[in-house]
Amino acid sequence: MREDNFIKQLQAGKQAAFSKLLDDYQQKVFGTCISFIPNKEDAEDVAQEVFLEVFKSIAKFKGNSKLSTWIYRIATNKCLEFIRKKNTKKRFAFMQTILGNEIPIDKTSYFTEFNHPGILLENNEKSEIIFKAINTLPESQRVIFTLAKIDGKSYQEIVEITGKSLSSVESVMFRAKKNLQEKLENFYKKDIF
């Protein structure tokens, strides 16, 4: 089925089209979510939010990009929104502690589980350090690095997903690699035999 016909069926609310969309994109969206949020439960929750947003917004989809690009853009934005909310909650809990109104802080970090299907790292400690380092990058660097190196997207796909120019994507990727190299340098110096 051609993509434009498929989109028209989605926009018409056809159940079969929504089932096909889920079949085609469920694992891909989950893969993107777990690339940004390496905790299975949180990534699954965000992936569900992505599909809710897709179903809610498909009528507004104009076809200026491929459907897959549009879905990846939604997934990336939902992941970043989740991370921002998580960071806000941590800051709030920290402030509560300082002010003496201590509330239980969620001790579980979403950097404790590393079952990402595309990454097989021997050591969970190293994985955690790498993901934490990625999470400290500025948002644009984190998005482009994650899409390229963890999710395996080409630069052209990243251009389509982010709306940035190719030269901008390359430049941001260069800065992200340089920043990560600096952040991880001390760890790897300590880890040499």
Q: What is the CATH number of the domain that holds 92?
A: 1.10.1740.10
pTM, two decimals, is 0.62
Residues 167, 140 share a domain: yes
Kindly state whether residue 51 falls inside one of the protein's structural domains.
yes
* Distant-in-sequence, close-in-space partners of 63: CB < 8 Å, separation ≥ 6: 4, 7
Kindly state whether residue 81 falls inside one of the protein's structural domains.
yes
Comparing CA positions, the residue from 105, 92, 118 lying closest to residue 38 is 118
143 sits in which H/E element: helix 139-145
The separation between the first and the last C-alpha atoms of the chain, rounded to the nearest angstrom, is 56
Residues of the chain with pLDDT under 70: 1, 87-127, 186-193
Residues 81, 165 share a domain: no
d(CA 10, CA 173): 35
Q: Express each pLDDT in 19-64 by its tens digit.
A: 999 999 999 999 889 888 888 899 999 999 999 999 999 998 888 8
Residues 159, 89 share a domain: no
Kindly state whether residue 113 falls inside one of the protein's structural domains.
no
Q: How many domains does the chain have?
A: 2
Residues 70, 134 share a domain: no
In this structure, what CATH number is given to the domain that contains residue 125? 1.10.10.10
pLDDT at 116: 52
Range of the domain at 25: 1-102
**SS3 breakdown of the chain: % helix, strand, coil, rounded to 5?**
75, 0, 25
Instruction: For residue 182, give both structure tokens.
Output: 């600096």
